[in-house]
Structure 1
């Protein structure tokens, strides 16, 4: 019986245990018959399809169409496709933040993939935290898996401009705050920012994670940047269904694809595309499920030797639809080829090197630069360390003002999101353009659940005076669609008692991108006095997932995963 169980395929895999396995098989097949499947089809390999459609998720409006296409591919390859639902994370429809629920979705995905009878799984999703959650779950379940993303939305047109969520939404909101446009105009812009299905049209977190998934080898080549409404997106889903059958037959598992080498390849691509700072947290969490540690010092080494090649918003003028027609992530990978681990396996069964040995197509060099003529000679992200961030912080230098990279200034401190909201636009706020804005208690252990609040608004009295950027520091995250000289993910966070919690108005802070440092210039005796005066930590939530999250969530340098979900948990 053990040999038979080992070789079980399709609906006879992982039988429910009633103490009689023959009865369990008989009962399962009888229930499958109730769904109208023929006996012939019930003998086929089963490809699960993790579907994330939700009316609370605008990015996933066309997921049902993609699922249908995946099913066609599976059937054409001789398998039985079975769709199942999981949690769906609509970025702007969740409170307190989608990151708070990412780990819950990863648990849902992992347990449904492991617990149901499937020989492989196709993961269909796209919104910011959805793809990381699906990959985290897939790595932990370690059933053959392939990712299909929903794709970016197309841009719209408004008064002669091309608009796309969400960098343009921030640009116009800044104009509105500065009094440059009126209420009627901002409402008109609001209706023209997001005009099709799909994820944000720029190199935000969703587009970054799609790009990194292709770099990791967990997605079919050339499919990261296809727009959501393009026919190629449907064809990619069908091809992924066929590929899932191959993965099932060859038993190629995520643990063979997501390795130290492929993770480093993904980091190279992240740096070369000027990708979202969120991707550091997500890639760290995905790697952690495979027992791989991402070292922020190593990130700096890679950043120093990886040029920025892609000129998309929020740092450049182009959108994801332009990257698609310019050559996609394949064009980026070919430029980076000498820097990559070419023996890394992909879901095609080929190595990355074998993929890149195939003939290259057209590349638009206005969108994807050559390695010899990069946009910037060094990568888009840099990790900072120092007395304010002993375990690290992140700066997206590709989206920052270089004139602010070496700076010592006075801190203007906001103790919470509520404090920020209440005082940032006060005419009495004691702030100048030369100051540093500091936000506390917005990290993973805070009640706010590490929101994308690191993009602190320029105080309105400064915005109205024409100030466009200033140094901002927090333990929060920032949307990949945002820009500015913003230090994020300060670790440990303030809510866990990190040095960020000890900053007071008027303290001096020194930023040095050149030295990779962020320091609080206050003597240790004063800091100890402040520590002794710190209030007790907030009480745990009384019940449910919030309580589990609070007890187990890790800091940003460990991906904000739940400790017990790591391949190698920190706690016994």
Structure 2
């Protein structure tokens, strides 16, 4: 093996103080020349997806030492989007992605680590870790901790987090279910450790991490409570030492082809709309040009092959049993580009190794769920720089819709109106000043979207926002409207009663107001006072970019 990064703190008489400090941690002389492997762990007692990580840490550490390296743990924070939802806490969720990338960069560079195992699971933590891997470009491998199992009920009922908490809350409010059933939902919705059971953001990002080639085979879908996940953790510890010795780094894996493959898998499964933000940001760190329009270009030729919860019937445990990511790649084989992965196999070699696919869960291209992929990029005079809709969760009836605007300056105001019965069929709910700058932090709004569905308005009311949605969102909900209201985007100029037209097949989002009238409104518009003026979020709002560029932080 050639010179290691860690030689800068272990070699030569000038490094006597450094070695003394390392010995102070308990490092023996026998490990001084081994590859130093950092294990960035986002373990926390606060998030169900992360509570099981202590065991995975043990297996990763065993693998590192078996492979001939020496492991060092360091902690990375995590936010549970479900717990942060619907209050001030959600302002902090997306911004933590930047903090996570910065923290990993800081620790790895300050301590000259030779390689990293990135132990992650939930929504912003996985993309933050991938951003750090691409930025550092030192050997890295990602271990996603895996999804939880569905809850079980009578007569084969399966419970899951979003439909049996957020949507159940609205059904209770509407009198569809009673308090006893609501409490059953609360008890059974999250029965084990792991990320939430459907194809929400955490699980979508785990799948895309494997598709990108940054985690071992099966890691993206293996259940958090499975022994397979432990074996993958051990093998990942062994593999990182090999990656260091062979100097295989993320930018060799994260090519334009890798990102296009990941987008196609995302589209085929009908994944979370948040992946648009995250893939754009990871690509930027990897030095790959990935414009927003790529999602729509690929979506036109990538069929949706799976019916995944929350918009469909299957859960992560079903996808795992059906063959996982490899099965999806196999079904998309004629659309997938060959690309290296850190497993040592190329994508086409992985496809060639697939022996069986459960086609009830992952359909063949010849028998798709829908002809187009799960995400669509819309544009028009209401969203000149684009907007995102998870069309896999939209009914055929709502693919084209025209309604009257009901404008709200915050998520809280919209929720008050929804729960008070003030939103009716034919309305288009507009929630603005919730973008990256205006929020700040581009809050995820699962509560309003789940409330719409729970109140039975999913086929008669649309929702449009410069904020974003949970991966658990379904229905005619259009997010990431760019430019956002806080910078004077057209969404800031909408008034109650304006007609808004949604045409997903033609990728159009239009405000039916004359340009002259809009110009008059713009002349009257003034930038509102920031919602948060102190602390980290005030600094974030000053440097964050628009959603159509991934909501990244730039100093210039």
- TM-score bracket for this pair, using the shorter chain length: over 0.9
Aligned residues of 2:9 and 2:19 also touching (Cα < 8 A): no
Q: Deviations over 1:499-539 (max 9, x none)?
A: 00100001011111222110111112211221122233324
Gaps (5+ residues) in structure 1?
1-5, 16-20, 565-570
Moved more, 522-531 or 272-281: 522-531
Aligned residues of 1:455 and 1:482 also touching (Cα < 8 A): no
Alignment partner of 1:381 out of 351, 354, 375: 375
Aligned residues of 2:446 and 2:473 also touching (Cα < 8 A): no
Q: Secondary structure at the match of 1:58?
A: coil
- What TM-score does the superposition give when structure 2 sets the normalisation length? 0.94
Moved more, 107-116 or 23-32: 23-32
Cα distance in 1 for residues equivalent to 2:199 and 2:543: 31
Equivalent residue, structure 1, for 2:525: 534
Alignment partner of 2:270 out of 263, 270, 274: 274
Cα distance in 2 for residues equivalent to 1:536 and 1:345: 48
Q: Does 1:137 align with 2:132?
A: yes
Judging changes above 3 Å, is the alpha-carbon distance between structure 1 residues 454 and 228 closer, same or farther for their aligned structure 2 residues?
closer
Equivalent residue, structure 1, for 2:209: 213
Gaps (5+ residues) in structure 2?
none
Q: Secondary structure at the match of 1:472?
A: strand
Judging changes above 3 Å, is the alpha-carbon distance between structure 1 residues 41 and 469 closer, same or farther for their aligned structure 2 residues?
farther
Cα distance in 1 for residues equivalent to 2:2 and 2:512: 64
Equivalent residue, structure 2, for 1:546: 537
Cα distance in 1 for residues equivalent to 2:215 and 2:31: 27
Q: Deviations over 1:274-302 (max 9, x none)?
A: 00001111111111112223223222121
Aligned residues of 2:167 and 2:451 also touching (Cα < 8 A): no
Equivalent residue, structure 2, for 1:327: 323
Offset at residue 418 of structure 1 (A): 3.0
Cα distance in 2 for residues equivalent to 1:379 and 1:512: 16
Cα distance in 1 for residues equivalent to 2:280 and 2:474: 22
Equivalent residue, structure 1, for 2:362: 368
Judging changes above 3 Å, is the alpha-carbon distance between structure 1 residues 295 and 10 closer, same or farther for their aligned structure 2 residues?
closer
Cα distance in 2 for residues equivalent to 1:275 and 1:562: 25
Give the CA RMSD over aligned residues: 2.1
Cα distance in 1 for residues equivalent to 2:545 and 2:56: 34
Judging changes above 3 Å, is the alpha-carbon distance between structure 1 residues 106 and 354 closer, same or farther for their aligned structure 2 residues?
same
Judging changes above 3 Å, is the alpha-carbon distance between structure 1 residues 249 and 474 closer, same or farther for their aligned structure 2 residues?
same
**How do 1:198-237 and structure 2 match up within 5 A?**
198-237=194-233
Judging changes above 3 Å, is the alpha-carbon distance between structure 1 residues 13 and 163 closer, same or farther for their aligned structure 2 residues?
farther
Alignment partner of 2:247 out of 240, 245, 251: 251
Cα distance in 1 for residues equivalent to 2:48 and 2:456: 36
Q: Deviations over 1:171-216 (max 9, x none)?
A: 4223213211123331231111001000011111011000100111
Aligned residues of 2:440 and 2:541 also touching (Cα < 8 A): no
Equivalent residue, structure 1, for 2:438: 446
Judging changes above 3 Å, is the alpha-carbon distance between structure 1 residues 455 and 340 closer, same or farther for their aligned structure 2 residues?
farther
Cα distance in 1 for residues equivalent to 2:535 and 2:428: 38
- What TM-score does the superposition give when structure 1 sets the normalisation length? 0.92
Alignment partner of 1:156 out of 129, 139, 151: 151
RCO comparison, higher one (Cα < 8 Å, 6+):
2
Q: Deviations over 1:442-467 (max 9, x none)?
A: 1111235211216635888x976776
**How do 1:412-431 and structure 2 match up within 5 A?**
412-427=406-421, 429=422, 431=423
Cα distance in 2 for residues equivalent to 1:267 and 1:467: 27
Equivalent residue, structure 1, for 2:470: 479
Q: Does 1:75 align with 2:70?
A: no
Q: Deviations over 1:211-257 (max 9, x none)?
A: 10011110112211000000000000000011101110111111111
Cα distance in 1 for residues equivalent to 2:346 and 2:182: 49
Equivalent residue, structure 2, for 1:411: 405
Q: Deviations over 1:39-74 (max 9, x none)?
A: 112221111110111122221001111111011111
Q: Deviations over 1:523-566 (max 9, x none)?
A: 122112211222333248555422320111011111111014xx
Q: Does 1:261 align with 2:252?
A: no
Cα distance in 1 for residues equivalent to 2:376 and 2:300: 9
Cα distance in 2 for residues equivalent to 1:174 and 1:496: 33
Equivalent residue, structure 2, for 1:307: 303
Alignment partner of 1:38 out of 28, 51, 57: 28
